[in-house]
Every structure is written in C-alpha cells, then in structure tokens.
Chains A and B, each alone.
Chain A
Amino acid sequence: MTTNVVQVAYIIAAALFILALKWMSAPTTARRGVIAGEIGMLLAVVGTVLRHEVVSYHWIVVGFLIGTIAGIPLAYLMPMTAVPQRTAISHAFGALAAALIGTAEYYKSTPHGFTMVALVIEILLGFLTFTGSLMAFGKLQEILPGRPLVYKFQNVVNLSIFSAAVLLGVYLIFHPEQTQIFPTFAGLALLFGVLLIIPIGGADMPTVIALLNSYAGLSASFMGFALNNYLLVIAGALDGSSGFILSVVMCRAMNRSFTNVLFGGFGQVQVKAHELQQRTVRSATPEEAASILEAARQVIVVPGYGMAVAHAQHKLRELFDLLTKRGVDVKFAIHPVAGRMPGHMNVLLAEADIPYDKLFEMDEINSEFAHTDVALVIGANDVTNPAARTDRSSPIYGMPILDVDKARTVMVIKRSLSPGFAGIDNPLYYMEKTLMLFGDAKAFLTDIVKELAVGARI
C-alpha cells in the first residue's frame, strides 16, 4: 500500500518539476513554476520519509532543521549582486550531497555492474563539481584572485590527473571490492575540480557556473541510476540539460568553444601586439552628460559587471525615471555574458524596479543603435568592443557585441582607461563621438541625477 502511495507521489512530483520549468518560460507564469517545484519537492520528501526502508528519523530531522535554518538567510539576506556566489556555493552543496550519497552507497553494498558504473560517474562528477564550485565561489567572492592562474604544462597536468581518476574509476567498476583504492579515486576527483577552475578568469564565470550546474544535475541523475529511482533520473536530467543549454548560450555569446573556455587560460594579460599609441579621449563632466541625456530622444543603457560592483542599479533607476518623465525613450541592452552569471544584469535591474519590458537582448536591440541618440555604457567593456568585429588579431575577434559605436553619441562610465578582463584595448573609447565619464559608476550617476533633478525644479 505505502509503496503505491510513494510511487504516485514520485510520479506527480516528476510531472510538477516538468511543469515548473515550462512555466519558467515567461515572467508572468514563472512564480507559478516555483510553487509547482515546491509542491513537487514536498511530495518527493514526504513520500520518501514514508517508505518502509526509512526507520530512523532523528538524523534526518536534524539535517532538515539545520538545512532550513541555513537556507532561509541564504535566500533572504543575500544581496542581489552576490547571486553568482550564492549560485556557485549551492552547486557545491548539491554536488557534495550527491558525492557523499554515492560514497555511502558504495561502502554499503560495493555493487557490481551497471550500478557501480553509475556510482563511479556520480561520485566523480559530484566531487569535482564540489571543489570546482568552491573555487568558483572563492573567485566570485574575491577570496581568491579573479585572474586566471596559469603555469607551464597546466593542461598536461590537469589532463593526467583527470585520466588517473577515470582509470581508477574504471578499475573500481571491475573490482568494487578493492575499497582501499576508493579514497585515492575520490581525492583525485576533488583535486581535479580545483585545478580545472584555477585557470579560468572572472569574465568566463557565466559559462563555468552554467557548466557546473549541468554537472551537479548529471550527478543527481546518475544517483537515480544507482538507486533505481526514476524521479532522481528525471530531476537530474532536467537540471543537467538546463545547465548545458545555458553554457552553450554563453559560449556562443563569446564565440568560443567549451574547450577554449576550460583549457584556454583566457584572460591573462596579453602582451599587446601593437603598442598603445598616445591617443586622445574626450571626457565630460556630470553636468555635460546630464544635458546631453536630457536633449536626447532615445537612450540605450548598456550595463556590465562594473555596474554590479558599484551597486549602481538603484541610481540608474532614478536616472531612468527622470529621463522617462521628460519624454526620453530609455531602453536597456543586455549582452548574454554581461556580469558573472547568465541573466545577472536582468536580475539587478529588476531589483531596482526597472520594468522588464525595457530590457532587451542583444539580437533584439542591435539594429536600434543606429538611430539612437545616446548609448550609455556603464561598467561594460569587452561586450562593446568594436575590435571584435574588425580586428582579426584581437583575442575577442568574432565575439558578437552590442553595436554601441553606431549610436550618435556614446558615453562610457568607467573608472579609468584600464583594459578589460582580456587585457584588450577598446577602440570605442578613442572614437570622435565617445565621451568618457571617469569615475565610480554609482557616484557618477548620482551626480547626473542631481543635475537633472535640479533642472526639473526650475
């Protein structure tokens, strides 16, 4: 009887997870998706607790309590600018859970055949995603240097460690009773996770986070194989495919391949082929910027990671309100890899109460720059670099960019002329029509807003 109840609960849970993702397709239905997911999870957990194999509850209850106590502040106190870090750490938790369950299952039954294959893959993916996500977290939280750490023969070292882990895994599949091998296998997987992420720079984080998301999901799926539980297989596969699609989207948005992101060591300061000539830039004061913005009919704002760092999104909203009130049409252009994770900019702008129908993807808005009066770039660099279109020698050649250089006037808020993550100079800054607004994004926007507000009162 209970077995049937549990089976039904699992089937409904799987259906609800699928619906949750379906409803995520649009902002109007997305919150319904969350509720569907929550009910699905509740059914799955209650169903599992009811299973007759589960007889000892106290550790489970303690785990639930600690997890809940830790989870609530993680969700509510986390500032939106820190969402990439939170995502990385939650991938670490998910992967750790999968790896530990696999480990416990292995020591319990030392299974043979298909189950062992599934367990080995689950454990390998779980452990490497665990340490990899911790490293990503460290980089995003700036505990670790965000720049890629590269050394000689790095790829050779990484590849041999990975191969060694895989070989031990294969050996364990054929000789599961050799338990003394297992710690080495697990250790190599943990080590590989660290080494995999060390050479990856901050700007590649969107791809890496998406990829780790995918691995965490896959490892849950393989747990489903090992435990013969279809609900786990389905939920893990959904997560795995989601992470996979997002990383493909990110790679495409940078015109790079997976291998290039993972093994390219992109983002090291490259010695520039042509020396920086002494070129002149035009800069402007907040007053000048304000009067140009005020006189415009259409303004497109291009936010980047710099906006997130400066927490400038709320000031930007004030600017948006003031300009909109004066009849200026303000839109936002979001490059897929702007920020540190997929969709990072959208969440920040939404947090600042900027209506989402004003946020446009690259493909939707690129044709509009040509008849836009002002393109206002805030803390974005490489995604606006016209060298990606023209300069074959540039490391970002071929990357799709936002066509800000086609606007009548370009304004760039930036701390200094220092190059972006890839150490690439941006010719945009030296164009005739470009005005550099030097300063902290938040401070500069505050000054512009002040200027416009004074004008409004007169």
Chain B
Amino acid sequence: MALNELSVFVFMLATFLGLELIRRVSPLLHTPLMSLTNAISAISVVGAILITGEKDASTLSRVLGFIAVTAATTNVVSGYLITDRMLKMFKKRDDKR
C-alpha cells in the first residue's frame, strides 16, 4: 500500500489542535485531563472490535482481539467515570452546600 498522505495530514492537524487545546487547560485540572485523554485514547476499542468480530478471524486474532476489547473497555468505563468523579469534587466557595 502506498503512503496514505491524507492520514498524515489529519495526524498533523489533530496534533497541533491538541497542543493548542491542552495549553489552555488550567493546571488545576491536569489530573482529570489525563484520565479523560486516557479514556479518549481507548478509542483503540474500535480496532479491537474490528479484529475480534471479523468473519474468518484466526484463533490468534480472536484471542488477542478479545484481550484488547476487554482492556480498552476497562479504560473507557473507568476513565470517563473517574474523570467525572474527580470533576464533581472541584467546587468554588459559593457553590458549597
């Protein structure tokens, strides 16, 4: 397969966009930021589904894919939930009960 230059362009643009967006995140939220991006990068679950669910997948593919689906799903679920749990804790003085 030839070089897919479009995907390289997409990568470059997304990286620059990411750098700009992350620069604006307050250091206050760096921990939840990391758990959120971690959950987002568990998008590899897409690749895992494709490998595991294929029609004539070999046993090897199915086993590796299955482990990958499990690991990525764990990250998706725990990543989003813990990010929200952390963010709920950040309160200003006036919005205290």
Contacts and interface: CB of A to CB of B under 8 A. Distances in A.
Interface of A: 17-18, 20-22, 24-27, 30-31, 33-34, 37-38, 40-41, 44-45, 48-49, 51, 53-57, 59-60, 62-64, 66-68, 70-72, 74-76, 78, 80, 83, 86-87, 90-91, 93-94, 96-98, 100-101, 103-105, 107-108, 111-115, 209-210, 213, 216-217, 220-221, 223-225, 227-246, 249, 334, 336, 341-344, 346-347, 350-351, 353, 355-359, 361
Given A246-B30, A361-B27, A37 B10 contact: no
Given A41-B39, A225-B4, 14 more contacts: A20-B36, A41-B40, A53-B53, A59-B52, A59-B65, A63-B68, A67-B73, A104-B51, A111-B1, A231-B43, A346-B29, A346-B90, A355-B93, A357-B92
Contact of B44 (A30, A101, A240, A246): A101
Contact of A239 (B30, B41, B57): B41
- Using C-beta atoms within 8 Å of the partner chain, give the interface range for chain B: 35 or more
Nearest to A341: B31
A93 B74 contact: yes
A355 B92 contact: yes
A66 B45 CA distance: 14
B27 A235 contact: no
B91 A25 contact: no
Contact of B7 (A57, A100, A233, A361): A233
A74 B80 contact: no
Interface in B1-32: 1-4, 6-8, 10-11, 14-19, 21-32
Contact of B72 (A30, A93, A240): A93
A48 B68 CA distance: 15
A232 B75 contact: no
Interface of B: 1-4, 6-8, 10-11, 14-19, 21-55, 57-58, 60-62, 64-93, 96
B95 to A, nearest CB: 9
Nearest to B30: A343
Q: Which applies to chain A's interface (DSSP): helix, strand, loop or mixed?
A: helix
A53 B46 CA distance: 12
B73 A68 contact: yes
Given A44-B43, A346-B29, A242 B90 contact: no
Contact of B69 (A59, A228, A341, A342): A59
A75 B36 CA distance: 12
B39 A37 contact: yes
A347 B89 contact: yes
Contact of A90 (B7, B23, B47, B79): B79
